[in-house]
Amino acid sequence: MFGLVAKCVNLPQYEPKFTNTIPQLFSMSKELTTREENYSKWYNDIVTKADLADNSAVRGCMVIKPYGYAIWEKMQQALDKMFKDTGHVNAYFPLFIPKSFLSKEAAHIEGFAKECAVVTHYRLKNDPDGKGVIVDPDAKLEEELIVRPTSETIIWNTYRDWIQSYRDLPLLINQWANVVRWEMRTRLFLRTAEFLWQEGHTAHATAEEAVIETEKMLEVYATFAEEFMAIPVIKGVKTASERFAGAVETYCIEAMMQDGKALQAGTSHFLGQNFAKAFEVKFTGKDGKLDYVWATSWGVSTRLMGALIMSHSDDKGLVLPPKLAAFQVVIVPIYRSDEEYTAVCDAGRNIKKDLERFGVSVKLDDRDTHKPGFKFNEHEFRGVPLRIAIGPRDIANGTVEVARRDTFEKEVLQIQDLSTKVIHLLEQIQSNLYNRALTYRDERTYRTDSWDEFLTLLDKGGFIYAHWDGTPETEQKIKEMTKATIRCIPLDNPKEDGKCILTGNPSTQRVLFARAY
Partner RNA sequence: CGGGAUGUAGCGUAGUCCGGUCAUCGCGCCUGGUUUGGGACCAGGAGGUCGCAAGUUCGAAUCUUGCCAUCCCGACCA
Give the interface with RNA as residue ranges (CB under 7 A): 24, 27-31, 38, 40-41, 44, 55, 59-60, 111, 114-115, 181, 183-188, 190-193, 195, 197, 244, 264, 267, 299, 301-303, 334-336, 368, 371-374, 376-378, 380-381, 389-394, 400-401, 403, 408, 410, 480, 483, 516-517
Per DSSP, 229 falls in state S
d(C-alpha 493, C-alpha 222), whole Å: 16
Phi, psi of 367 (to 5 degrees): -60, 130
Q: In this structure, are residues 262 and 488 in contact, taking their beta carbons and an 8 Å threshold?
A: no
d(C-alpha 482, C-alpha 466), whole Å: 14
Give 362: exposed, middle or buried? Use CB within 10 Å, 0-12, 13-18, 19+: buried
Residues 6+ apart with CB under 8 A from 166: 205, 283, 284, 285, 286
Shortest separation between residue 208's beta carbon and RNA, angstroms: 25
HEC letters along 492-503: CCCCCCEECCCC
Give Cα 253 distance to the centre of its chain: 12
d(C-alpha 395, C-alpha 402), whole Å: 14
Q: What is the DSSP string of 386-442?
A: EEEEE-HHHHHHTEEEEEETTT--EEEEESTTHHHHHHHHHHHHHHHHHHHHHHHHH
Q: In this structure, are residues 493 and 499 in contact, taking their beta carbons and an 8 Å threshold?
A: no
List the Cα angle 205/206/208 in 5-degree steps: 145
d(C-alpha 413, C-alpha 219), whole Å: 39
d(C-alpha 173, C-alpha 167), whole Å: 16
